[in-house]
Amino acid sequence: MHEFSIARSICRIAFEEAEKHGASCITTVCVEVGMMRQVVPELLRTAFGVASKGTTLEGAVLEIHSVPITTRCCSCNHFASCETLPLQCDNCGSNDVQFAGGNDLRVSSIRIAEEVSNEH
């Protein structure tokens, strides 16, 4: 399952972040997933639940933000978000267009449970 390997990478990155902050419990993991990855959010949440079971990530909420596919025109260097194929630059009409984004998988932030509350 495609989503399961993504969930495992998310867990690995979140663990590293938690370790850096000395956190023992993570409440929320925010991820940015490029649309080119064609991830199904519900499947990713399910996979994340399985992958995080028995770890400091268990019970954490997975927030999924979709990142649109972006393209760059090789002729005029125009960046655009891509929703349709075939690819064509909407600035100069060139077909010489490359993908510039939307293939990323990134943990944008994690939220950590506060063990001691000092706030008044």
Residues that bind Zn ion (CB under 5 A): 73, 75-76, 78, 89, 91-92, 94
Return the DSSP state at 60. Answer: P
Nearer Cβ to Zn ion (55/94): 94
- Residues 70, 97: contact at Cβ < 8 Å? no
| Shortest Å distance, C-beta 67 to Zn ion | 22
| Shortest Å distance, C-beta 75 to Zn ion | 5
Nearer Cβ to Zn ion (37/78): 78
| Shortest Å distance, C-beta 85 to Zn ion | 16
Q: How far is CA 9 from CA 57, 99, 105, in A?
A: 13, 23, 9
Nearer Cβ to Zn ion (19/90): 90
- Residues 82, 112: contact at Cβ < 8 Å? no
